[in-house]
Structure 1
Amino acid sequence: MSTETAIDDGRSAFRENRWTDSLRSYTDANQRGGLPAADLERLATAEILTGNTTTGLDTLARAHEEYLEVGDVAGAARCAGWLGIQFMNLGEAGQAGGWFARGQRLLDELTEPNVVEGFLLVPAALGKLYGGEPAAALQLFSQASEFGRRFQDKDLSALGLLGTGQATLMLGRADEAISLFDEAMVAVTTGELSPIPSGIIYCAVIGNCHLAFDLKRALEWTAALDRWCAARPDMVPFSGQCQSHRAELFRLHGAWHEALEAAAVARKRAIQGDPQALFGGYYQQGEVQRLAGDLDAAEASYRQAARSGYEPQPGLALLRLARGDPRQAQTMIRRTAGEADQATRRHLLPAMVEIELAAADAEAAARAAAELESFAREYPKPMVRAAASQADGAVRLAEDHPAAACVSLRQAWHLWAGLGVPYEAARCRVLIGIACRSLGDEASALMDFESAHAEFLELGAAPAAAWAASLMQAGPDDGGRRQGPLTPREVEVLRLVASGEGNRAIAAHLFLSEKTVARHISNIFLKLGLSSRAAATKYAFEHGVTG
């Protein structure tokens, strides 16, 4: 095969998104006789997209030099800009800054305006965005988008539009931001953009939809991203981020096993060449572990997530609460919310209400709930309304207004159920049960506790199941002796565990197999939120199961 044929094959495969084939052909042509600058740039992209990031960056630097060699200053500046963005994504600020500075210096040599000038506004805008200056970022992104329109560069126009949406969301204008994201996504889904800008926009839009409580759009765009990645099976960047978004949706919808699997794939892809997936892969794993009651594992996952440079919140604060330290959780969530932009702060408000109530600061909880309610009036998406109604109901319950609490909590329960978010729906059922008990309606209270308990068990949410079980056991008319969620056989097994019998002795006493006894004990631990035989023994004595 001649060099020219290999180059033609590389270009053809590149156009068809066959990155591995493009890489193979271009590498062959490069070894035979070298590549022109534009083809070196394509080779670098194919290398990066197949997870060969280090090699791809070296090739992109060679393309930069080749552009300079042939006098194409704009092409050299463009490569410098992309090198800066790639190094920025890798967390190598020094390298990124150096390439951005070189790109700007090259642009200063040009006598006429060039589209690359607008492209180099993007990293400057990102610096403002993540530096807490969304208004300044909005101005820069708008300028970048205008450069794209002026020079008919669809990649730049869409990236500028994305950034404009992100800055607008941070300024608190969620509806306007969502419209901008939708417009950017039109360019992606119609195939107008090149692969790297497409992946950037897909992943950023989905993340911002979650931040804006727009679960329906997050689900829609995640499904689209999944299809986009599936059509490019050899692509590594963005595929890991896709899996972390899938993990979040699985977790919200109660498919926790699937969430853990997707999070594991995200972490694997982060190592292979999608570093932006590191945070989501570990954070979503930590969330499932926390809700399941595996607090040590959750702590380790959050620590790994923090290595990405992003704070694992509100999960880490809620973990402190689960460990029985509401004051530390309160300090943590207050600091994080105080430092956050408006969109991120709103995302933290539901956790803030829960933590402030646990820390017995009803006034602070009421302020956070009112802030969430104000957002819900401004932006009445179902998920925002559900979170706001749940927060309002919890605060009213703490303030001893059970009738008013019931109204808000039932609204929240119906909204969460409609969204298919079972954990939060079950939490609402427990709070409704507490309100009903306060109103003297014990029969309804038990019905709510039992329904929530069954849902928590199905999810594998041991701490929440134990919470519901404790309320089932503490009815006002049973002297505190209710045996709650345990079956008669499980009560027998628990009684023998409390008497100090081992599994073999229990099996012989009850004419069961040891395997069946072990399964009963596992079910008892899960239903009651226990982790040891000693804890089970203590529970049995405290609840009159030993007689």
Structure 2
Amino acid sequence: MPAALELARTAYEEHRWTVARDAFDVAQNEGQLPARDLELAATAALLLGLETDGVETLTRAHEEYLAANDIVGAVRCAAWLGIHLMNAGNRARGGGWLARAQRLVHGDAESEVAEGFLLIPVGLGSLYSGDVDGALRAFDQLATFAERFADRDIYCLAQLGRGQSRIMAGQVEDGMTLLDEAMVAVTAGEISPLPAGIIYCAVIGTCHLAYDLKRAHEWTAALDQWCAAQPDMIPFSAQCQAHRAALYRLHGAWSEAYSAALIAEERFGLGDRDAAYGAFYQKGEIERLRGEFDDAEASYRRAGETGFEPQPGLALLALARGHRDVALALIRGAVEGSDPGTRRRMLPALVTIELAAGHVELARAAADELRVVSSDSRMPMLNASASHANAAVLLEEGDALGALGEARRASALWRDLDLPFELAQCRALIARAHRMLEDEISAEVELQAARAMFAELGATPSVRELDALRRQRGDSPLTTREVEVLRLVASGLTNKAIAAELYLSEKTVARHLSNIFAKLDLTSRAAATAYAYRQRLV
């Protein structure tokens, strides 16, 4: 065996991609490479971000397999070319390669194993279009093919697709078990580099979608080590940084999160296209939370250019700017018709925005839906989100004691998860509940604690909101919602009319009115109306 070819194969096995590619080039100059070596050389080029070189070399490998009458090898190369080109946005060329692979399969009676490769794009197409049943069928068939022909790469990709499909269908625990099985093979080094990277990044993204922060931590650390062992690899390295940015942001290390997002953006520019959404979305999230609204909008727009909606971040940005109608349209559009996993991720923001718009009944429906999906979940982050959302709605419904209990449950979970921004938001909710219960001492303690946490994070808009809330203490004993009800009472509206105006139930309006009478020591609607005029509320 020529020395260059031996070096190339050894370097490939050791994941030294630059050395492998250069050695394959030397070996190619010394004589025609076999199809398998051309396929390896193409993989090395693609992992270095050399797309044109990788595609051309994989095309030559396909042709060599055909010349050797190796239909399985030819179909494998054609299928990967199709998947890669379609993922890069070149749908015409990608579709052409997949059509060629399909023709080869149908033209060869002994190429049953090759049919498995064509189920990958079929399953992905169903998954991304929201056809969960179709995706499950395709990936179940793919797993059967892989088991029959002992193909570890295809089997693990099938397990990935099966897991994602089940999670989208709401079968979260079963889906995560399938993803764990795929990851065991990846971390054990049992599969090829390209499928390994695909599975790493897809699993971590799915963990975030499913609120499984523990798994997201574990697999992000594994991906980090995998990428660090291959410093010249471009694909997947940027996605690793985007996943790191998400975790840093959640844990309050916003400077580190922003740095990781910038690295992801840089490496995206070098060829890791799949990192674009994560890089720009995480930048947008940090900029929004810091109050850098123009920068956040630009980052969200860049994320949206990838074809994925930058939600709920863009909707929450509109709310932060005071554009409630825009925020409502964005978040409702994102929730409507979405798969269960995406819908679950949007529900907390939907609750927040509906409440800000005064639609308490609609916020109650969203909070109840979140509570149902979390009821049998062992994922603390989902449980915390559900309790937090329910507390916010209970507070607007006038049930301060109920809100206090739910907020305390949520804050304990946020603390255990080490998510400081969410914990600070929850403590602000607790403060509002104490104030509604006329416990100003406890309210002030919670407000000071929440403000300190927001200030340490650099969450400038949240600090301003709390300062405004603290200034309200001496103005009126009434909550914002109670002031709204009082104004409408003073305008002569009945409880039924007020309920329709504020999207509340008549029972909730009656509770607010009872609280108003008690706080102001009043006994009639006429006296409440007189108070409203004295305080210039109408």
Structure 2 distance, partners of 1:443, 1:471, is 15
Structure 2 distance, partners of 1:69, 1:477, is 85
Pick from 256, 259, 267 the counterpart of residue 257 of structure 2: 259
Residue 341 of structure 1: aligned partner: 339
1:121 counterpart letter in structure 2:
L
Residue 451 of structure 2: aligned partner: 453
Pick from 390, 401, 412 the counterpart of residue 392 of structure 1: 390
Residue 214 of structure 2: aligned partner: 216
2:326 counterpart letter in structure 1:
Q
Pick from 278, 284, 287 the counterpart of residue 286 of structure 1: 284
The one-character-per-residue Cα deviations of 1:157-199 (angstroms, maximum 9, x if unpaired) are 0000100001101111111111111111111111111101110
Structure 1 distance, partners of 2:470, 2:130, is 47
Structure 2 distance, partners of 1:91, 1:474, is 53
Distance 1:477 1:103, change over 3 A: closer
Structure 1 distance, partners of 2:229, 2:336, is 42
1:172 counterpart letter in structure 2:
G
2:346 counterpart letter in structure 1:
L
Residue 45 of structure 1: aligned partner: 43
- 2:124 is the counterpart of 1:126: yes
The one-character-per-residue Cα deviations of 1:523-546 (angstroms, maximum 9, x if unpaired) are xxxxxxxxxxxxxxxxxxxxxxxx
The one-character-per-residue Cα deviations of 1:317-346 (angstroms, maximum 9, x if unpaired) are 111111101111111111110121011000
Structure 2 distance, partners of 1:225, 1:290, is 28
> What TM-score do the two structures reach when normalised by structure 1?
0.86
Structure 2 distance, partners of 1:371, 1:333, is 16
Residue 154 of structure 2: aligned partner: 156
The one-character-per-residue Cα deviations of 1:43-67 (angstroms, maximum 9, x if unpaired) are 0000000111121111111111121
Shift of 1:34: 2.5
Structure 1 distance, partners of 2:357, 2:29, is 67
Residue 196 of structure 1: aligned partner: 194
3-state DSSP class of the match of 1:474? Answer: helix
Structure 2 distance, partners of 1:113, 1:43, is 25
Shift of 1:477: 8.3
Shift of 1:303: 0.5
- 2:83 is the counterpart of 1:77: no
Structure 2 distance, partners of 1:61, 1:294, is 47
Pick from 207, 230, 243 the counterpart of residue 241 of structure 2: 243
Shift of 1:91: 1.6
Structure 1 distance, partners of 2:86, 2:142, is 19
Contact 2:17 2:44 in 1 (8 A): yes
Structure 2 distance, partners of 1:54, 1:379, is 46
1:144 counterpart letter in structure 2:
L
Residue 510 of structure 1: aligned partner: none
3-state DSSP class of the match of 1:96? Answer: helix
Shift of 1:113: 4.3
Residue 309 of structure 1: aligned partner: 307
Shift of 1:241: 0.6
- 2:61 is the counterpart of 1:63: yes
Shift of 1:116: 2.2
Pick from 81, 84, 90 the counterpart of residue 92 of structure 1: 90
Superposed, 1:377-416 pairs within 5 Å as: 377-416=375-414
Shift of 1:4: 1.8
Q: Which ranges of structure 1 fall in alignment gaps of 5 or more residues?
A: 480-547
Shift of 1:287: 0.2
Residue 418 of structure 2: aligned partner: 420
Residue 366 of structure 2: aligned partner: 368
Structure 2 distance, partners of 1:73, 1:319, is 53
The one-character-per-residue Cα deviations of 1:241-268 (angstroms, maximum 9, x if unpaired) are 1110000000000000011111111111
Contact 2:71 2:111 in 1 (8 A): no
Structure 1 distance, partners of 2:201, 2:444, is 44
The one-character-per-residue Cα deviations of 1:367-389 (angstroms, maximum 9, x if unpaired) are 10001000111213100110000
> Structure 1 segments of 4 or more deviating over 4 A?
none
Contact 1:244 1:266 in 2 (8 A): yes
Structure 2 distance, partners of 1:116, 1:210, is 33
3-state DSSP class of the match of 1:409? Answer: helix
Pick from 169, 172, 192 the counterpart of residue 171 of structure 1: 169
Contact 2:220 2:243 in 1 (8 A): yes
Shift of 1:478: 11
Structure 2 distance, partners of 1:273, 1:39, is 23
Shift of 1:114: 3.1
Structure 2 distance, partners of 1:360, 1:477, is 21
Structure 1 distance, partners of 2:207, 2:124, is 18
Contact 1:263 1:282 in 2 (8 A): yes
Structure 2 distance, partners of 1:384, 1:478, is 36
Shift of 1:425: 0.4
Residue 114 of structure 2: aligned partner: 116
Contact 1:456 1:464 in 2 (8 A): yes
Structure 1 distance, partners of 2:112, 2:420, is 52
2:368 counterpart letter in structure 1:
A
1:38 counterpart letter in structure 2:
R
Contact 1:115 1:153 in 2 (8 A): no
**Which deviates further from its counterpart, 336-345 or 470-479?**
470-479
3-state DSSP class of the match of 2:109? Answer: coil
Structure 2 distance, partners of 1:75, 1:381, is 43
Structure 2 distance, partners of 1:65, 1:260, is 45
Structure 2 distance, partners of 1:15, 1:110, is 32
Residue 528 of structure 1: aligned partner: none
Contact 1:450 1:472 in 2 (8 A): no
Structure 2 distance, partners of 1:263, 1:462, is 20
Shift of 1:112: 2.0
2:94 counterpart letter in structure 1:
A
Structure 1 distance, partners of 2:371, 2:290, is 29
1:411 counterpart letter in structure 2:
R
Distance 1:477 1:323, change over 3 A: closer
Structure 2 distance, partners of 1:444, 1:277, is 45
3-state DSSP class of the match of 2:261? Answer: helix
Shift of 1:32: 2.3
3-state DSSP class of the match of 1:289? Answer: helix
3-state DSSP class of the match of 1:339? Answer: coil
Contact 1:203 1:238 in 2 (8 A): yes
Shift of 1:23: 0.6
Contact 1:247 1:284 in 2 (8 A): yes
Residue 3 of structure 2: aligned partner: 5
1:294 counterpart letter in structure 2:
E
Residue 139 of structure 1: aligned partner: 137
Shift of 1:473: 2.5
Shift of 1:115: 2.3
Shift of 1:27: 0.7
1:324 counterpart letter in structure 2:
G
Structure 1 distance, partners of 2:183, 2:252, is 28
Residue 317 of structure 2: aligned partner: 319
